[in-house]
Amino acid sequence: MLGLTKKDLQLMLIVTGLTMLAPFILNPFPESSGMAQFNAGYPDLMQRFVIFGIFAIGFNLLFGLTGYLSFGHAAFLGVGSYGAIWMMKLVSLNVIPAIFMGVIVAGIFSVAVGYICLRRSGIYFSILTLAIAQMSYALAYSVLTPITGGETGLQIKSTDRPLLSNLAEGETGRANLFGMDMRQSFELSIGDWLFTFNVGYYIAAVVMLIAFYVSIRIFRSPFGLMLRAIKSNQTRMSYTGLNPRPHTLAAFVISGMYAGLAGGLLVAMDTQVGPERMFWTASGEVVLMTILGGVGTLIGPVLGAGVIKYMENILSKINKDVLHEWFAFMPDGLEDFIVFLVYPFIGKGWHLTLGILFMLVVIFLPGGLVEGGQRIGKWIKNRRTAKDTGASTEPAE
Amino acid sequence: MEAIILQILNGLDKGSAYALIALGLTLIFGTLGVVNFAHGALFMIGAFCAVTFSRILTLSHTIIDETQTDFLGNPLKVDVPYLYDLFGQATGDAIIDWAVPLSILFTVPVMMFVGYAMERGLIKHFYNRPHADQILVTFGLAIVLQEVIKYFYGANPIPTPAPQAFAGSLDFGALLGFDPNLIIYPYWRIIYFVFSAVIIGAVFAFLQYTTFGMVVRAGMADRETVGLLGINIDKRFTIMFGLAAAVAGLAGVMYTPINSPNYHMGMDFLVLSFVVVVVGGMGSLPGAVLAGFLLGILESFASMREVLEILPGLNQIIIYLVAIIILLTRPRGLMGRKGVMED
Amino acid sequence: MGILEVKDVGKRFGGLQALGDVNLSVKENTVHAIIGPNGAGKSTLLNCLVGKLIPDTGSVMFDGQSVLGRTPHEINQMGISRVFQTPEIFGDLTVMENMMIPCFAKRDGAFRMRAVEDMMREKDIVEKAEAMLEDMNMADKHHMNAASMSRGDKRRLEIGMCLAQEPRLLLLDEPTAGMARADTNNTIDLLKQISDERDITIAIIEHDMHVVFSLAQRITVLAQGTPLVEDDPENIKGHPKVREAYLGETAA
């Protein structure tokens, strides 16, 4: 079905199920319980899960397949965002043209950047992309203020009168899809549980599913094979009559368009953009997501994006009082000691946890969480077969 | 003319910092073949060594001073640094005042140790892994170090003044025969530049005139051959890493009066220092120094009001622009050697 | 007129004249060996043929067309495939994927964007790759990671990948270097079989005289960047100049 093998189809269905049921899955704890703060099923965060998932999927198409490590990918996300918000400000508040605009602008920009950066490879490529992204950030921050709004960025204002809209005088436009407001939510209350179904989230989720599907197809295509060949051995590639340059450029542009898509979606959800979206730390973040989840795997980047956004939003909210509450059952001295030990890793210190986790993954688990999962799976399987054979040989003895 | 001299002078201190960081980066890349994204963190740790040292100097105990009273007539509680007890008040104050230069003595061993620990504990295991993995793991390390510093010292910049003796400015223009007050230049920046020049000179002399340096230079040129000669090159490279860390740390210590240290200063400088290394030529020490000063001065020229009126924002992008042009036209950088990381 | 015509090719590296006025003519459907002592310029010559180096002087014509100034992938698409001294294969990919890549390159050219098709559903490619693996006696290694194979297997895979492109000229750079005797003999048999069964010209650079005299129909001896002699194997063996420059080396 869908031109996928059975295994890929299974993966696709699992991901579809998870994203569609996310409002349930991410809200496992009752509202009144102490664990409610671990609930991630609110619209803003769920939107971020899928949008950064798209960003990471796109990054993985470049880094995972060709091995070219771009350290400036946030530039495409930012450019896509700017393109999208101008579309909303000037033409239509419907999110579809805005998202399209984001993809197109990012695509054009990545053709130019890719043309320059792909003349070099290895560490030079990383530094070139980093330099260009930092330059774009500086341009957006200061030089291009008339287009980018400088430091404060761009928002949809009450004075904006898009061509294809009939707003009342002084009314601030809202992003919509054929009249459906992105912020509209339907809340379902079952007992002590509260589930939120948000229009924006479901639109972003559908887009992510399409993006995920396309990425599976690219992975399994002749083109994907060529990209993996580039990563593996460029010499053999050239001496097999294949030109690596257009292949890498195509991968770079596709990857840039994924970033633009993510940027456009971000604007569709919160109708604002600032230059910090292009800062190099944002580029670093997508690298972290992809590596953490599992570079070169299909599901890894989505997983990594989820873990990091969850940590950013949930782990960072835990403070000392919450910790004391948790460990209240311990004797006082021990409680203080444990809180003292744990405290640096949570709240504002969540970056520390992230950094350590990332290092551990790079050192011990180059395949990321996906490889971790596979290893655990194999270990369990081996134990089980060992037990089975053990049981069957026992009587013989 | 005055404006040009002023801009060159202004570019020198930033250029010095770039040059020192880039020098260490190049040493590590040239000898160990490792691209170290955590090198900026070493610069930052150096700066916080100065902070730590001045905090150690001002460690105090509280006494009740009967001679002074507060407005209610009660005896006043006064914090007295232990240094007063040791050396008396005048000498104690002088030592505290000179905390930044003195902390060099504290920084060098600390940074050497940090560098040593970093190489033995982590980088060593990445010699045979792809460059991308090296970038990633050192990037992770940079985040961790940055966050650790943030945890202990907070997120705000910590002002760390230079000694009173260097607080003023030199009227440089008057020395050269221009009108007074046209070209004034803070004393500390002169110190920083001279200090950097000395460090750079020392590193070059060390590599040029000692046997150790000769082996390291040979190792940079051809690692395998030197290894075949039976010279324990790995051990020397570890020491080299410690040295590069110390150089970055010293650059950080002396930079504190110019720019109050904060936890992200390392990353801010690192991105630019990478650009400097690439412009200078990967693996070329003179190239790193040259490019460091060149880009520092260029940046300072681009910040002139006259330039900004024509090309607003040029100061923000000039370094990147130059880097992109150089990389595309002279892929080896200004002074890069043939065959070193050409693709 | 041979399929490969090298005329007056010279190449200089700084002060070193690596090649000086090399003339060479490889006849279609023969096995032509180029031998010579270390530093004779064999590898330099080979690199000039495949576009890795550009000679300072002279011309290289393949089937009536000049190869000079073309990139390696363009020259490959003209019909010249190269086997390296240490096998260059796609180590991260499976054996089957390795074999499919040259099949795609043959069918689709240097670059064709086929990003949504499923590569395993390209019937012609899959069948061709499978047949080629069968020919190379590797059908059982389909899903193996190419990097995990023995050196002899890697060599066979690389040769198979080159053949999958149906080249008219196959260049081999010391294909048995560093191989055990048994592997060397297998490679000789394989190359013999290829040259007998296929419409292909083989040019081989080799150090091992056993390999050279079991395969070559024509031999060029290179010394100090210039061709010394070009003749049939029987004549080369007894040629005094060759003994002096090359075989004498081992006799002494």
Indicate whether C118 and C238 sit together in one domain.
no
- H-assigned helices in chain B: 2-32, 39-57, 82-87, 89-97, 99-121, 131-153, 172-176, 187-209, 211-221, 223-228, 233-255, 265-280, 285-302, 305-310, 314-329
pLDDT class for A109, splitting at 50, 70, 90? very high
Residues 41-100 of chain C whose Cβ lies under 8 A from any Cβ of chain A: 50, 71-73, 76-77, 81-82, 84, 88-93, 97, 100
> Which chains form contacts with chain C, at 3 or more CB pairs under 8 Å?
A
* pLDDT at residue A350 tops 90: no
> In this complex, is the C-beta atom of C107 within 8 Å of any C-beta atom belonging to chain A?
no
CATH number of the domain at C28, please: 3.40.50.300
What three-state secondary structure class fits C72?
helix
Chain A positions touching chain C (beta carbons under 8 Å): 3, 5, 214, 217-218, 220-226, 228-229, 231-233, 235-243, 246-247, 250, 254
CATH number of the domain at B245, please: 1.10.3470
Angle at A151 between CA A145 and CA A152, to 5 degrees: 100
* pLDDT at residue C14 tops 70: yes
Is B161 contained in some domain? yes
Give chain B's mean pLDDT: 84
E strands within chain A? 154-155, 176-177, 180-181, 185-190, 193-198, 272-273
* pLDDT at residue C93 tops 60: yes
Is B84 contained in some domain? no
* pLDDT at residue B171 tops 70: yes
pLDDT for A64-105, tens place per residue? 999 999 999 999 999 999 999 999 999 988 999 999 999 999
Task: Please report the ipTM that was assigned to this predicted complex.
Answer: 0.91
| Cross-chain CB nearest to A236 (options C89, C115, C125) | C89
d(CA A275, CA A141): 6
C63 φ, ψ (degrees, to nearest 5): 55, 40
Residue A151 near residue A274 (C-beta atoms within 8 A): yes
Stretch (H or E) spanning C8: strand C4-13
Region B248-270 average pLDDT: 88
pLDDT class for C245, splitting at 50, 70, 90? low
Region B169-184 average pLDDT: 75
d(CA C41, CA A1): 57
Which range among A215-219, B63-67, B153-157, C171-175 shows the weakest confidence by mean pLDDT? B63-67
Burial class (CB within 10 angstroms; exposed 0-12, middle 13-18, buried 19+) of C51: buried
Q: What phi-psi label fits residue C137: left (phi over 0), alpha (psi between -120 and 50 degrees) or beta? A: left
Indicate whether C143 and C98 sit together in one domain.
yes
* pLDDT at residue A397 tops 50: no
Burial class (CB within 10 angstroms; exposed 0-12, middle 13-18, buried 19+) of A189: exposed
Is B67 contained in some domain? no
Pick from A59, A135, A281, A311 the residue to mutate for testing the B interface (most B CBs within 10 Å).
Answer: A135
CA nearest to B249, candidates B29, B2, B10, B38: B38
d(CA A350, CA A343): 10
CATH number of the domain at A225, please: 1.10.3470
Pick from A285, A315, A359 the residue to mutate for testing the B interface (most B CBs within 10 Å).
Answer: A359
Give chain A's mean pLDDT: 89
| Cross-chain CB nearest to C118 (options A221, A239, A250) | A221
* pLDDT at residue B161 tops 70: yes
Region C153-158 average pLDDT: 92
| Single-letter amino acid code for the residue at C39 | G
Q: For A141, which DSSP code?
A: I
> Which chains form contacts with chain A, at 3 or more CB pairs under 8 Å?
B, C
- Whether residue B140 and residue A127 make contact (CB cut-off 8 A), yes or no, is no
CA nearest to C165, candidates C219, C90, C247, C104: C104
- Whether residue B144 and residue A130 make contact (CB cut-off 8 A), yes or no, is no
Note the pLDDT of residue C252. 37
SS (H, E, C) A144-206: CHHHHCHHHCEECCCCCCCCCCCCCCCCCCCCEECCEECCCEEEEEECCEEEEEEHHHHHHHH
Is A173 contained in some domain? yes
Note the pLDDT of residue B338. 61
Domain count across chain C: 2
Indicate whether C75 and C174 sit together in one domain.
yes
Q: Which residues constitute the domain of residue A14?
A: 6-28+38-279
- Which residue of chain C comes nearest to A242, CA vs CA? C110
Note the pLDDT of residue A394. 43
Looking only at the bridges linking them, the beta strands covering C226-231 and A185-190 are unpaired
Is C85 contained in some domain? no
pLDDT for A336-347, tens place per residue? 888 888 888 887
> Which chains form contacts with chain B, at 3 or more CB pairs under 8 Å?
A
Between C94 and B332, name the one with better pLDDT: C94
Is B101 contained in some domain? no
Residue A156 near residue A85 (C-beta atoms within 8 A): yes
* pLDDT at residue C250 tops 60: no
Chain centroid to Cα C236, Å, comes to: 22
Q: Following CA atoms B308, B311, B313, B314 in sequence, which dihedral angle do they give, to the nearest 10 degrees?
A: -100
Domain count across chain B: 1
**Could you give the count of Cα atoms lying within 13 Å of A31 in the half-sphere of its Cβ?**
10
- Whether residue C101 and residue A226 make contact (CB cut-off 8 A), yes or no, is yes
Chain A residues inside the 8 Å CB shell of C88: 233, 235-236, 239
**Total residues found in chain A within this entry:** 397
C230 φ, ψ (degrees, to nearest 5): -135, 120
Indicate whether C30 and C96 sit together in one domain.
no
Indicate whether C112 and C212 sit together in one domain.
no
Chain A residues inside the 8 Å CB shell of B274: 127, 130
- Whether residue A241 and residue C82 make contact (CB cut-off 8 A), yes or no, is no
Is C75 contained in some domain? yes
d(CA B6, CA B12): 10
Residue A363 near residue A325 (C-beta atoms within 8 A): no
- Whether residue C102 and residue A240 make contact (CB cut-off 8 A), yes or no, is yes
Kindly tell me whether chain C and chain B come into contact, counting contact as 3+ Cβ pairs under 8 Å. no
d(CA A249, CA A215): 17
pTM confidence score: 0.90
Q: Which residues constitute the domain of residue B325?
A: 2-50+107-329
Q: Which residues constitute the domain of residue C137?
A: 90-151
- Whether residue B140 and residue A358 make contact (CB cut-off 8 A), yes or no, is yes
Note the pLDDT of residue C240. 77
d(CA B97, CA B112): 25
Indicate whether C223 and C116 sit together in one domain.
no
* First-residue to last-residue Cα distance in chain C: 39
Place of tokens 């081989």: C204
Beta bridge partners of C34: C205, C220
d(CA B72, CA B139): 57
Q: Token pair of A3, please?
A: 């031109």
Chain A positions touching chain B (beta carbons under 8 Å): 63, 67, 69, 71, 116, 119-124, 126-128, 130-132, 134-135, 138-139, 141-143, 280-281, 284, 287, 291, 344, 348-349, 351-352, 354-356, 358-359, 362-363, 366
Is B81 contained in some domain? no
CA nearest to A346, candidates A315, A309, A382: A315
Is A264 contained in some domain? yes
Between A393 and B181, name the one with better pLDDT: B181
Is B60 contained in some domain? no
* pLDDT at residue A395 tops 60: no
Is A351 contained in some domain? no
Is C157 contained in some domain? no
Which range among A12-26, A220-234, B175-189, B273-287 shows the weakest confidence by mean pLDDT? B175-189
d(CA C180, CA B215): 38
pLDDT for B232-251, tens place per residue? 777 877 888 899 999 999 99
pLDDT for B107-143, tens place per residue? 999 999 999 999 998 888 888 888 888 888 999 999 9
Distance to chain A for B328, nearest Cα, Å: 8
pLDDT class for C41, splitting at 50, 70, 90? confident
Looking only at the bridges linking them, the beta strands covering C57-62 and C65-66 are antiparallel
d(CA B287, CA B273): 12
Chain B residues inside the 8 Å CB shell of A64: none
Region B186-211 average pLDDT: 90
Indicate whether C96 and C73 sit together in one domain.
no
Stretch (H or E) spanning C22: strand C16-26
Residues 118-147 of chain B whose Cβ lies under 8 A from any Cβ of chain A: 122, 125, 130-133, 135-137, 139-141, 143-144, 146-147
pLDDT for B36-67, tens place per residue? 889 999 999 999 999 999 888 888 888 877 77
pLDDT for A10-65, tens place per residue? 999 999 999 999 989 888 888 888 778 888 888 899 999 999 999 999 999 999 99
Is A76 contained in some domain? yes
- Whether residue A233 and residue C97 make contact (CB cut-off 8 A), yes or no, is no
Domain count across chain A: 1
Indicate whether C19 and C58 sit together in one domain.
yes
* pLDDT at residue A357 tops 80: yes
* Percent of chain A residues past pLDDT 90, beyond the cut: 53
Is B132 contained in some domain? yes
pLDDT for A216-274, tens place per residue? 999 999 999 999 999 999 999 999 999 999 999 999 999 999 999 999 999 999 889 99
A393 φ, ψ (degrees, to nearest 5): -85, -20
| Single-letter amino acid code for the residue at A252 | F
Distance to chain A for C44, nearest Cα, Å: 16
CA nearest to A356, candidates B110, B47, B151: B151
